[in-house]
Amino acid sequence: MDHKPLSTRESWLALEAHYQNIRNTHLRDLFRADPMRGERMACEAAGLYLDYSKNRITAETMHLLLALAEECGLRERIEAMFRGDKINITENRAVLHTALRARRDQHIYVDGADVVSEVHAVLECMSAFSSRVRQGDWKGYTGKRIRNIVNIGIGGSDLGPVMAYEALRHYSDPALIFRFVSNVDGTDLSEAVRGLQADETLFIVSSKTFTTLETMTNAHSARQWLLRSLHDEAAIARHFVAVSTNEAEVRRFGIDSANMFGFWDWVGGRYSMDSAIGLSTMLAVGPDNFQAMLSGFHAMDEHFRTALFDRNLPVILGLLAVWYADFFGSQTVAVLPYDQYLKRFPAYLQQLAMESNGKHIALDGSIVDYPTGAIYWGEPGTNGQHSFYQLIHQGTRLIPCDFLGFFNTLNPLDNHHNLLMANVFAQAEALAFGKSADDVRKEGTPEWLVPHRTFEGNRPSNVILADRLTPETLGKLVALYEHSVFTQGVIWDIDSFDQWGVELGKVLAQRIVPELANPEVTLTHDSSTNTLIHLYNTRHSTH
Ligand code: G6Q
């Protein structure tokens, strides 16, 4: 691998020169020049269709981006990740979320142990437990079956489970109620348990470390809530299970280690929804659907690992993200799922992309001299069209968009799906080609209004389509983005798998907590923080 700084590499310099040539080229002209562009710049793999023709690229751009991937050693880095090398260098850890969905007959070793057999052993425990709860065989303390499941976790131990629950709601057991608690704001837990019967409620405490302030605070309060109704510590074992890597802390909390579902330090929080952190998902949709989701992940893993880069969906998506972030200076990517079930998908991607690639230090410890991770955001279509799309169409910023849609809906209702998908195609078309001043004039618009009603177009987008939203498709979509994020991190030469910014936040609040509990303490922060704490201590009433 070439260790020259990214911005001095041959392919990077070639891309800079190329960008100057095509930065003003309009998508209208690119499509006019190549009538087959919409077919040529598309790729279908593992059941996902990616149309990337409405990007501000030429065949030359793709050629140079692919050369950049080669020069940055992407192929070797993919192999290293799948093999279990400790590519998370700042934490000296392997990065093996791909092992979570490996087939039973595969072997992947970390420090001499075959992790695939460990993964399947945990999956079996999860399946057995889920089946008992779903069939009503797992009884609560008073002998009643479980009807409510509350997942307590935050960050990677929450966003994946929430997103997957919403995404797969169609497949969820309607007899079970699911709630998710993440915020240390007492409102979150209070609202989550409102109306629930304690003796029918199961809490899943999901925390890799089992020391996270928010999760442990919520777990302790949930425990008190339960004991207020059931009055016996023995009830805890029937109503609390844990998902964690920290058996000692789980036991200290009072959860029987027989009711703990483990995972490993080589699973990053934001890459953990298909580990035991997905227990709530499995309880909702059942072991078979969970397994189908894992198969979807695996299919995309295999595609990413084996496909040529010019036909490789995550590689293409990742390289395009680099193209806009580093050459066009785009700061954000809008993710626009045209499926109500994917309403939490943008929030999930936000963590996946921004916690992974929000870094400014290269692997060798130097400060990067190019932009890294873009800001991911979005809302489901068509709602976004009636709010923020205005800025995407006519604002001053270039915002590449990913449209996600399905050929078939899970809820056929009159003409709804055709209307929904017509909007996907129309939006991508309007962003790319706009509406010229002449066209606006032809509609009889008065001259003073023409500039306001003109759309310059040339706004890039990808359209990603799949048959329908099944558990398998969800696995493929998530893996698509996981590997796109990985591709970007490799190009940017950063560690996409640590999160020191999150760790700092975990420590800082702990320092102020005792100062809020004890107004007498001498405050030694800056004058702003001191005043704010003082104000809080004076005005906060303890009742
Ligand atoms: C994810 C991050 C972070 C983490 C949470 C929860 O990649 O590491 O979001 O998932 O801070 O941590 P625990 O699971 O340890 O409670």
Which ligand 1 atom is at minimum distance from the Cα of 209?
15
CA-based nearest residue to 319, from 485, 433, 537, 458: 485
Alpha carbons 482 and 462: distance in angstroms, whole number: 17
Q: How far is the CA of 182 from the centre of ligand 1 (A)?
A: 11
DSSP-assigned beta bridge partners for residue 148 = 177, 201
CA-based nearest residue to 293, from 128, 147, 160: 160
Q: What is the pLDDT of residues 91-129, one digit of tens each?
A: 999 999 999 999 999 999 999 999 999 999 999 999 999
Residue whose structure tokens are 């759309």? 455
Write the residue with the smallest CA distance to atom 1 of ligand 1.
269
pLDDT at 519: 74
249 catalytic residue (yes or no):
no
For residue 2, pLDDT beyond 70: no
For residue 282, pLDDT beyond 60: yes
Burial readout 503-513 (b: 16 or more C-beta within 10 A, e: otherwise): eeeeeeeeeee
Q: Of 386, 442, 452, 540, which residue is the catalytic one?
A: 386
Residue whose structure tokens are 């891309």? 15
8 A C-beta contact, residue 115 and residue 96: yes
DSSP assignment of 442-473 equals HTT--GGGHHHH-B-----EEEEEES---HHH
Q: How far is the CA of 23 from the centre of ligand 1 (A)?
A: 40
Q: What is the pLDDT of residues 7-62, one digit of tens each?
A: 999 999 999 999 999 999 999 999 999 999 999 999 999 999 999 999 999 999 99
Which ligand 1 atom is at minimum distance from the Cα of 206?
14
Instruction: Give the helix ranges, DSSP H, for 34-114.
Output: 37-40, 59-71, 74-83
Q: How far is the CA of 56 from the centre of ligand 1 (A)?
A: 36
% of the chain surpassing 90 pLDDT: 95
Q: What is the DSSP letter of 146?
A: P
Q: What is the pLDDT of residues 329-377, one digit of tens each?
A: 999 999 999 999 999 999 999 999 999 999 999 999 999 999 999 999 9
Alpha carbons 392 and 398: distance in angstroms, whole number: 7
Alpha carbons 259 and 474: distance in angstroms, whole number: 28
416 catalytic residue (yes or no):
no
CB atoms within 10 A of CB 390: 10
Q: Of 214, 355, 482, 515, which residue is the catalytic one?
A: 355
Alpha carbons 32 and 36: distance in angstroms, whole number: 9
pLDDT at 3: 73
Which ligand 1 atom is at minimum distance from the Cα of 271?
7
**pLDDT class of 543 with cuts at 50, 70, 90:** low
506 catalytic residue (yes or no):
yes
Q: How far is the CA of 216 from the centre of ligand 1 (A)?
A: 12
Half-sphere exposure for 370 (CA within 13 Å, toward CB): 24
Half-sphere exposure for 532 (CA within 13 Å, toward CB): 6
- SS3 of 524, please? coil
Q: Which residues line ligand 1 (CB under 6 A)?
A: 154-157, 207-209, 212, 215, 268-270, 355, 499, 502
pLDDT at 39: 98
Alpha carbons 225 and 170: distance in angstroms, whole number: 30
Q: What is the DSSP letter of 324?
A: I
Alpha carbons 254 and 277: distance in angstroms, whole number: 19
